[in-house]
Structure 1
């Protein structure tokens, strides 16, 4: 039986997608197993639950990376997002008054947010999710980083002695690109990109690149 040119293209395309899916899964498994091996677990059942959920989350992440519709490119070998990195951290251009106006408007719970992190001069932007908003008290709570005021500053003021500084950012394309790609900066300029955790990678799929809401 002869196969038409269009059928051959589809077959090759499907084979390539399967290969890319397998590569993505392998990269994600290696990354997550290494991450789990570095953690200390007081409760073995917690470790068992995390390992048990890996198959589902990794397949979901690999599928979404292949199906992505965003301004980002995919590095199949590292299971990561790719985009051009700015010379300096774009979070430094963030203005607290504009951040406050942004978060005063209606925002759905669970939406992806960006947090500027400065640890001993090493800077990056990290993805988190909003799980509580209190407009009456002017506070917003993130799943990982905790409470911030609506202007993006931590609820508990950070002292100069603290090693790590955080700030919730008004979302923008350049900030979310940097967060998704793991871009980092140091005193010399661009640093080595960090690999996103599986949680952050899954969060990146929920970003609405038009409205960020």
Structure 2
């Protein structure tokens, strides 16, 4: 019989590794379930595109799960839902946004690929969504976001000629907002705004509502946030 003493510290390390693997598997399962459901709801006529999306899931989901476990941010991780968690503000923090400060920030920090926050009011339901800058035209004073399109550096959307531009989407009354399909505004990143975006916090006319689950794309974008400078 082996009477060698048991290294308790080694046991703790082994247990930690096992627990970490379990959490990693839970995160992967949650993300697979979410993304496959999302793909199933889309109308995709291009089979080649669908194949590429499904083929890339393994890589992106493993990357997202690993980063959630390695996170160093003011956010907590919900292992079961593969999501960020933090206390939700009573009111949408985007209401405190200032277009002059937004323009100054983007003039100073503008760069391709940076993670940005966009305020979205869709039929009275408000949230802040992560997107990334993929084109910059400083001479024209505008930037293009990968999902939401063109914005002026002050955060207001660049509208088409046949669209009526409102002075400040964040100041729209509920009646006006409800008559529009979606109201959007690019925001100067702050800790509270990025936190709300990462956690999927949502609001309606009554206050806080059920947080939305981030897409895999948004979740991957959240890992690029520099919480010291909010870039």
Find the partner of 2:119 among 113, 116, 120: 116
Answer yes or no: is the 8 Å Cα contact 1:158–1:165 preserved in 2: no
The number of residue pairs the alignment matches comes to 213
Q: State how far apart, in whole Å, the 2-side matches of 1:27 and 1:158 are.
A: 40
SS at match of 1:209: coil
Q: Does 1:184 align with 2:202?
A: yes
- TM superposition shift of 1:107: 2.6
Find the partner of 2:133 among 130, 135, 151: 130
For 1:160-190, what per-residue CA distance to the aligned partner results, in whole angstroms no more than 9, with x for missing partners?
5422100000000000000000000011110
Q: Which residue of 1 aligns with 2:221?
A: 203
Q: State how far apart, in whole Å, the 2-side matches of 1:208 and 1:139 are.
A: 23
Consecutive unaligned residues of structure 1, counting only runs of 5 or more, are none
Root-mean-square deviation (CA, aligned residues, Å) is: 1.1
Consecutive unaligned residues of structure 2, counting only runs of 5 or more, are 167-175
For 1:53-72, what per-residue CA distance to the aligned partner results, in whole angstroms no more than 9, with x for missing partners?
00000000000000000000
Find the partner of 1:68 among 71, 74, 78: 71
TM-score by length of 2: 0.90
Q: Which residue of 2 aligns with 1:77?
A: 80
Find the partner of 1:13 among 16, 19, 28: 16
Q: Does 1:40 align with 2:43?
A: yes
- TM superposition shift of 1:2: 4.0
Q: Does 1:162 align with 2:180?
A: yes
The structure with the larger Rg is: 2
Which 4+ runs in 1 deviate beyond 4 A?
Answer: 157-161
After superposition, the Cα gap between the structure-2 partners of 1:39 and 1:158, relative to the gap in structure 1 and judged at 3 Å, is farther
